[in-house]
Amino acid sequence: MDLANKRVLVVGASSGLGRAAGLRLAREGARVAFASRRLEQLETAAGEAESGAIAVSCDVRDPDSCEAAVKTTVDAFGGLDAIVYAAGLARPLSLVEADASAWAISVETNLIGASLVTRAAIPHLAESRGRALYVSSITVDDAVPRRGMALYIVTKTALNRLIEAWQGEHAEVSFIRLQVGDTHGTEFGKGWKPEETAHVRDWLEKGLLFGRSMEPEDVAEQVVWALGTREAIPVMVIQPRRVLESRDRGEGE
Ligand SMILES: NC(=O)c1ccc[n+]([C@@H]2O[C@H](COP(=O)([O-])OP(=O)(O)OC[C@H]3O[C@@H](n4cnc5c(N)ncnc54)[C@H](OP(=O)(O)O)[C@@H]3O)[C@@H](O)[C@H]2O)c1
């Protein structure tokens, strides 16, 4: 679909990938609602985006807030052509460390919130025969879930099935899952404690990292493409190109 004047709600748009996607969509002429909890950051993003962008308060862990965010967007734009669900978080915890509260935060933010926002948006997306894109992760494909990321990987794996379930129930809307690899310049690992980042060494040793990471704009480019292309793209994956050690390239031997 041509994105000019298309009405898009981006949830999780105060920072990182969601913010970059919102700005990039606005550059294509879309009317973007930047939604999440931190209104000040959302207003700054909407101001940067121009083209009629708005800031919308939304806590995805609160069902009423999800409904209200969709309603505010539809009232402001007169309908809805797409949603982008970029809200998400990870705390690196082992399963022994993960108490009920840690589980609740992860499941509610990464999984249930996605369904609540979709549930509120679906009549409007059905009317416009629109699209719904969700930011998932390449970590779901690790043969053994990487150490410290079980809650994250379990909730993102469930998110992938949730997207397929929504597609099964609503053929009139195109559902897209975008699995993303390591990206810097976001707030994803901001609150991680030094002892929690010790897991990263284990990921390095197991070859799960790429030697480099991507920019939020690289991911935003794919969001624009997935929403704008004529055909359905049910699954997309973007990951950094791997930096090869010289020995892997057959040099220096
Ligand atoms: N960075 C990576 O390497 C990477 C890789 C693969 C996938 N991802 C996924 O990409 C998505 C965006 O992550 P990011 O890297 O851009 O991190 P980020 O900068 O921390 O962005 C996370 C976004 O989620 C929002 N959010 C968190 N809890 C929320 C809540 N209860 N209600 C509404 N919004 C909430 C935050 O907004 P507020 O705090 O304002 O509410 C923020 O806008 C996540 O789903 C993440 O799993 C990231």
Residues 153-171 have pLDDT tens digits of 999 999 999 999 999 999 9
Minimal-distance CA residue to ligand 1 atom 46? 88
- Point out the ligand 1 atom lying closest to the alpha carbon of residue 60: 32
**207 versus 196: which is more confidently predicted?**
207
- Answer yes or no: is pLDDT of 247 > 80: no
Task: Give the pair of three-digit tokens for residue 11.
Answer: 């949830």
Q: How confident is the model at residue 251 (pLDDT cuts 50, 70, 90)?
A: low
Q: Each residue of 67-120: pLDDT tens digit?
A: 999 999 999 999 999 999 999 999 899 999 999 999 999 999 999 999 999 999
152 is catalytic: yes
Q: How confident is the model at residue 252 (pLDDT cuts 50, 70, 90)?
A: very low
Ligand 1 lining (C-beta closer than 6 Å): 12-18, 36-38, 58-61, 86-89, 109, 135, 137, 180, 182-183, 186-188
CA dihedral 143, 145, 147, 153 (to 10 degrees): 150
Q: Is 45 within the bounds of a domain?
A: yes
Minimal-distance CA residue to ligand 1 atom 45? 88
Which residue's structure tokens are 């009920």? 100
Q: Is 243 within the bounds of a domain?
A: no
Q: Is 242 within the bounds of a domain?
A: no
- Domain span at residue 145 reads 7-235
Distance CA 208, CA 195 (A): 19
Q: How far is the CA of 86 from the centre of ligand 1 (A)?
A: 6
Q: Is 27 within the bounds of a domain?
A: yes
- Sorted by sequence, the CB contacts under 8 Å of residue 51 that are 6+ apart come out as 26, 29, 30, 31, 32
Report the length, in residues, of the chain: 253
CATH number reported for the structural domain that contains residue 91 in this entry: 3.40.50.720
Q: Is 244 within the bounds of a domain?
A: no
Q: Is 229 within the bounds of a domain?
A: yes
Q: Each residue of 210-234: pLDDT tens digit?
A: 989 999 999 999 999 999 999 999 9
Q: How far is the CA of 17 from the centre of ligand 1 (A)?
A: 7
Domains identified in the chain, total number:
1
